[in-house]
């Protein structure tokens, strides 16, 4: 009862109109006080609900989640093209940063990271022509070991022992081929996103609906998700091996090995397991290099490349020293307050932050 009475009295008081000059009661709607002829200040109606600005907008997280799911599915469709799949996973990982951790769909973050690393590794493996048969898949006979000529003949019907007649081996690709795979993958990704009508944000892409709702800080969050590539290795994290110069091979270190053949004396030849009599001379195929005269480089383990010294294998450019990799700096005009002399700062539009002029919001600089 007390609550009802108080509510009634408050409503009654608010309904009354009192003259601010003489203090007499005035009828509702009157513009002039009938007692002192003073102008009546009209009452303002109380708002029935809170303004829309107070209500939290979750549309950015929803749009980002839908876009990430779309990019993840497209990456899976291009699994046969590791360079393109890597670009899709990389972009999805950048847009994923717009979604709060507790609102992300299942284990999508771990799945994207896992598949992105697998795609990066798949770009480094491929078919390499067999070094023994020169890609023919046939057994090679060096006629120089028989008649002193420099001719090499490939025998039909006999398979190469090293590649089993395939003509190639699945091995680590050269650094140049890996860089080409990465470059082609990103070019194809950019073209497909442009055709789909997506909007470029730094090195990443987002849907147009999502781009229209992003604040400056959210845009930078996406941009820093795909940092600039290392100028030396271009996202590969590798550089040419300084020992073999990228050839993947080095000269056979076995004693007395000359082009894969070891000359032996007649007395010791009986103890040898693998012998060949050519031109009356007792010779033996080198077991270390299998008669090729070369072995895989011991520095790079036959890969032809080592970890990039510039980026320590990350494949990314160093962080911007001006913004510490954040991509934003404090507005120098308003010192981050968003207001200047009581008005909205025109330099930062009231946000208090600006894009870093050194890295352009990407958080890293490719020197």
Residue among 83, 162, 82, 81 nearest 129 (CA): 162
Nearest by Cα to 117 from 304, 325, 308, 313: 313
Q: What pTM was computed for the model?
A: 0.69
Q: Where are the alpha helices (DSSP H) in 96-159?
A: 108-122, 144-147
Centre a 10 Å sphere on the Cβ of residue 305 and count the other Cβ atoms it contains. Answer: 24
Residue of 123, 128, 127 whose CA lies nearest to 80: 123
The DSSP symbol for 273 reads S
CA distance linking residue 323 with residue 334, whole number of Å: 18
What is each CA distance from 82 to 114, 124, 192, 234, in whole angstroms?
13, 9, 15, 15
Report pLDDT digits (tens) over 23-63: 666 666 677 777 777 776 554 443 333 333 333 456 899 99
Q: Which two tokens stand for residue 101?
A: 């951790």
Highest average pLDDT, of 42-56, 188-202, 258-272, 285-299, comes from 188-202
First to last CA, the chain: 77
**152, two tokens:** 């090499």
pLDDT of residue 155: 66
| DSSP β-bridge partners for residue 17 | 26
For the residues 162-179, what does the mean pLDDT come to?
85
């Amino acid at each position: 009862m007390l609550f009802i009475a108080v509510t009634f009295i408050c409503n009654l008081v608010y309904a009354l109109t009192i003259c601010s000059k003489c203090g007499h009661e005035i009828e509702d709607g009157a513009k002039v006080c009938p007692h002192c002829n003073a102008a009546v200040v009209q009452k303002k109606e109380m708002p029935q609900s809170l303004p829309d600005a107070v209500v939290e907008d979750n549309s950015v997280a929803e749009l980002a989640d839908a876009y990430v799911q779309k990019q993840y599915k497209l990456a899976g469709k291009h699994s046969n093209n590791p360079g393109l799949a890597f670009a899709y996973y990389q972009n999805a990982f950048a847009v994923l940063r717009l979604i709060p951790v507790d609102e992300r769909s299942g284990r999508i973050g771990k799945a994207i990271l896992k598949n992105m690393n697998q795609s990066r590794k798949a770009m480094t493996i491929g078919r390499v022509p067999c070094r023994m048969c020169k890609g023919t898949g046939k057994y090679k006979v060096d006629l120089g070991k028989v008649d002193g000529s420099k001719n090499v003949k490939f025998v039909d019907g006999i398979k190469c022992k090293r590649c089993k007649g395939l003509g190639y081996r699945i091995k680590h690709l050269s650094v140049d081929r890996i860089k080409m795979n990465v470059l082609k993958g990103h070019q194809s990704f950019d073209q497909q996103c442009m055709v789909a009508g997506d909007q470029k944000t730094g090195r990443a892409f987002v849907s147009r609906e999502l781009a229209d709702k992003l604040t400056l800080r959210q845009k930078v969050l996406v941009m820093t998700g795909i940092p600039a590539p290392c100028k030396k290795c271009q996202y590969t994290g590798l550089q040419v091996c300084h020992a073999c110069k990228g050839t993947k091979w080095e000269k056979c270190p076995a004693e007395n090995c000359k082009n894969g053949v070891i000359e032996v004396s007649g007395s010791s030849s009986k103890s040898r397991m693998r012998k060949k009599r050519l031109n009356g001379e007792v010779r033996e195929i080198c077991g270390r290099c299998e008669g090729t005269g070369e072995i895989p480089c011991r520095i790079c383990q036959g890969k032809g490349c080592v970890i990039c010294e510039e980026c320590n294998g990350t494949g990314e450019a160093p962080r911007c020293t001006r913004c510490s990799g954040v991509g934003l700096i404090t507005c120098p005009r308003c010192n981050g307050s968003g207001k200047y002399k009581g008005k909205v700062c025109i330099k930062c539009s009231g946000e208090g932050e600006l894009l870093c002029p050194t890295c352009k919001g990407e958080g890293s600089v490719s020197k």
